[in-house]
Amino acid sequence: MTDFRFDYGPRVLSGAGRSTSVPDLVPEGPVLVVTDTGVRGLGLADPMLAALADRAVVFDAVEPDPSAATALAAVAAGREAGVTSVVGFGGGSPMDVAKVVAYLLGSGDDLDAIYGVDQAKGARLPLVLIPTTAGTGSEATPIAILTVGGAEKKGIVARPLYADWAILDAALTFGLPRGVTAATGIDAMVHAIEAFTTKRLKNPLSDALAKEALRLLGANIRRACDDPADPGARGAMLLGSHLAGVAFANAPVAGVHALAYPLGGHFHVLHGLSNALMLPHVLGHNMAAALPLYADLAPILDSSLASLGRQAQAQGLVEALAAIAADCGVPSRLRDVGVKAADLDMLASEAMKQQRLLINNPCEIGLADARRLYAAAL
């Protein structure tokens, strides 16, 4: 067995209504609740806010692809209220902002000083994360992504960003629209696949979690899209997303995410949809190096592939993922989300800024490769 390090991440509370446990998980004093207006408007946080009563300080101005300015505004709100802990409630955007805010409030560091890997070394405030989508896995990871300068996505990856607690309540995901369910579900599947095939830090524990995550997600994503209130499907999706998050927190994602980020930054495409659009093309690019690993994963999504040869299995994985995306109604071409041929050079150049992710890809992706992959997806 090769040497490796593995961090299990936050402690987990799972079950219906467990968000009302927040007062028992944080110290006395005001609690900054970081969320967005959409989640707030649906009333999903109301039971938790009622449990916190006058201790809750709500910051609900988080936008999709949240900006550094939004994170700093949340820090200012928390500092003014003298909060002693932070809760992130919502999808990946509120949870990512909550991580950054808890760290900056606790450490006193400057935001610009902590971008990159292991640059945040200080202490943070107590942190609880509660996902309302089954896809980002952000509640499980020490990673936060912010948009800087209007379009560039920059990551903060450091162990102090791990939450103390993650609360998994599948009922919070019942109201997700079909498109969001599909996009976030495929995002989680990409997390599992890229963790299993990553060039760096691949390890047996992440492998096991990635396989189980892919099994849960692949078996339930169609059901969750077709029947959004199916508790079994929703619960499996939420757990699968979390396990994939733990996996890629230790075995990092790669080329699919690197090429997806510019689509979110410049065209405001949902992150999960960005991943879905680039997934088959990056898998094809990686086939020469990752074929045995893709073959290992293929029967998880389609048991009929188990008896085939390795090359047929690997190709079958790509086809099975394309079938899932089609069945769930996910767009398949970049032109469907407003990308034009004139944008390809810019996208390729922007993707090259994601070296933190590109170094993990099974096959090198250079500037010409990135442009070719975007062109194939157009």
pLDDT at 12 over 70: yes
If one counts every other C-beta atom within 10 angstroms of the C-beta of residue 15, the result is 13
Burial (CB < 10 A; 0-12, 13-18, 19+), residue 313, is: buried
CATH of domain 178-377: 1.20.1090.10
DSSP alpha helix (H) spans, the chain: 22-25, 37-42, 46-52, 68-81, 92-107, 178-197, 204-226, 231-250, 255-267, 271-301, 310-327, 344-351, 355-358, 367-377
Residues 245-261 have a mean pLDDT of: 97
Query: What is the full DSSP assignment across 204-244?
Result: HHHHHHHHHHHHHHHHHHHHHHH-TT-HHHHHHHHHHHHHH
Percent of the chain beyond pLDDT 90? Answer: 95
pLDDT at 1 over 80: no
pLDDT value, residue 175: 80
310: its two tokens = 């390795």
Residues 71-86 have a mean pLDDT of: 98
pLDDT value, residue 101: 98
- pLDDT tens-place string over residues 317-355: 999 999 999 999 999 999 999 999 999 999 999 999 999
CB 30 within 8 A of CB 55: yes
Q: Mean pLDDT for the chain?
A: 96
- pLDDT tens-place string over residues 109-141: 999 999 999 999 999 999 999 999 998 999 999
Q: How would you classify the pairing of strands 31-34 and 56-59?
A: parallel
Q: Is it true that 11-172 and 178-377 share their CATH fold? A: no
Residue 128: which region, alpha, beta or left (left: phi > 0; alpha: psi -120 to 50)? Answer: beta
CB 129 within 8 A of CB 135: no
pLDDT value, residue 273: 93
316: its two tokens = 């079958």
Nearest Cα to 241, choosing from 225, 273, 266, 218?
Answer: 218
Q: Which residues pair with 127 in a beta bridge?
A: 86
pTM: 0.96
If one counts every other C-beta atom within 10 angstroms of the C-beta of residue 307, the result is 9
In the chain, what are the domain boundaries? 11-172, 178-377
- pLDDT tens-place string over residues 138-178: 999 999 999 998 788 899 999 999 999 999 999 999 988 99
Fold of 11-172: Rossmann fold (3.40.50)
| Terminal-residue alpha carbon distance, the chain | 42
Sign of CA dihedral 224, 255, 36, 54: positive
